[in-house]
């Protein structure tokens, strides 16, 4: 199933857990499995991290062994991650501990998400955040390109230099070599460049 199909069918997944270190580890696996089934691998790392940080927040502020639940739901171009617990104590950024004390917590969730907030429920509250699928896709594209460039520089013996001009030069060299390979294999360089440009412009837009 693709992520688009998951959105159209208005799917959601509820993953109950207890606020304990071992349970949080299992929760990460459940989040990954669900998103893989939905075809949303691009956002898996962010969703795992958000669920983990919010679950650890329950462990710290509600108590070890407290019953809780993660809810995953596609909404538009975002994935909504909610963590429900039985406490009505509202976490705020200023109350979160430092990284040295207990990790990145709600600060990291706020930084990585499109938005976050708190909802009161009949049983307690839900802390939610929304993660942009498009941002995750673009991030993966950048990471893959960086790996390709690093390998290309290694093969041709060019040391990686962070200067923008050098980066543009390396990208041009990679594209030119790929086009040479394509033509040698019987492909159409002009048509391929046109398609690549269309894909890029569509993703950026």
If one counts every other C-beta atom within 10 angstroms of the C-beta of residue 32, the result is 16
More confident residue, 64 or 82: 82
Q: How many CB atoms lie within 10 A of CB 58?
A: 28
Which residue, among 71, 76, 46, 169, has the nearest Cα to 125 in the 3D structure?
Answer: 71
Q: Model confidence at 18, in pLDDT bands (50, 70, 90)?
A: very high
Backbone region of residue 186 per phi and psi (left: phi > 0; alpha: psi in -120 to 50; beta: other values): left
The whole-angstrom separation of Cα 119 and Cα 96 is: 18
Q: Between 30 and 43, whose confidence is greater?
A: 30
Q: At 131, is the secondary structure helix, strand, or coil?
A: strand
pLDDT at residue 166 in the model: 62
Ranked by mean pLDDT, which of 34-38, 89-93, 148-152 comes out on top?
34-38
- pLDDT tens digits for range 167-182: 777 888 888 989 999 8
pLDDT exceeds 60 at position 97 = no
> What is the Cα 86 distance to its own chain's centre?
27
Q: What is the pLDDT of residue 107?
A: 78
| Residue 127: per-residue pLDDT | 93
Residue 99: its pLDDT value, please?
A: 44
Q: 103: pLDDT confidence band, cut at 50, 70 and 90?
A: very low
Q: Is the confidence at residue 73, as pLDDT, over 90?
A: yes
Mean pLDDT of the chain: 80
Query: What pTM value is reported for the model?
Result: 0.61
Residue 149 to residues 18, 33, 158, Cα–Cα distance (Å): 44, 31, 10
The structural domains of the chain, ordered by start, are 3-133 (3.30.565.10), 137-204 (no CATH)
What DSSP line would sit under 63-85, residue for residue? -TT-EEEEEEEEETTEEEEEEEE
Please check the confidence at residue 7 and state whether its pLDDT lies above 80.
Answer: no
């Amino acid at each position: 199933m693709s992520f688009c199909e998951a959105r159209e069918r208005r799917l959601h997944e509820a993953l109950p857990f207890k606020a304990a270190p071992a349970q949080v580890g299992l929760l990460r696996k459940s989040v990954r499995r669900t998103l893989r089934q939905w075809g949303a691998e691009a956002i898996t790392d962010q969703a795992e991290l958000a669920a983990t940080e919010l679950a650890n927040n329950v462990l710290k502020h509600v108590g070890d062994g407290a019953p809780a639940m993660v809810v995953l739901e596609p909404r538009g171009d975002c994935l909504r991650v909610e963590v429900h617990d039985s406490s009505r104590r509202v976490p705020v950024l200023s109350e979160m501990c430092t990284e040295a004390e207990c990790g990145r917590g709600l600060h990291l969730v706020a930084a990585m998400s499109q938005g976050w907030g708190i909802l009161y429920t009949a049983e307690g509250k839900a802390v939610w955040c929304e993660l942009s699928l498009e941002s995750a896709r673009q991030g993966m594209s950048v990471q893959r390109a960086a790996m390709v460039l690093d390998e290309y520089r290694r093969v041709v013996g060019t040391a990686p230099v962070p200067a923008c001009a050098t980066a543009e030069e390396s990208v041009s060299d990679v594209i030119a070599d790929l086009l040479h390979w394509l033509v040698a294999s019987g492909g159409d360089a002009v048509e391929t460049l046109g398609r690549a440009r269309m894909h890029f412009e569509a993703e950026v837009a």
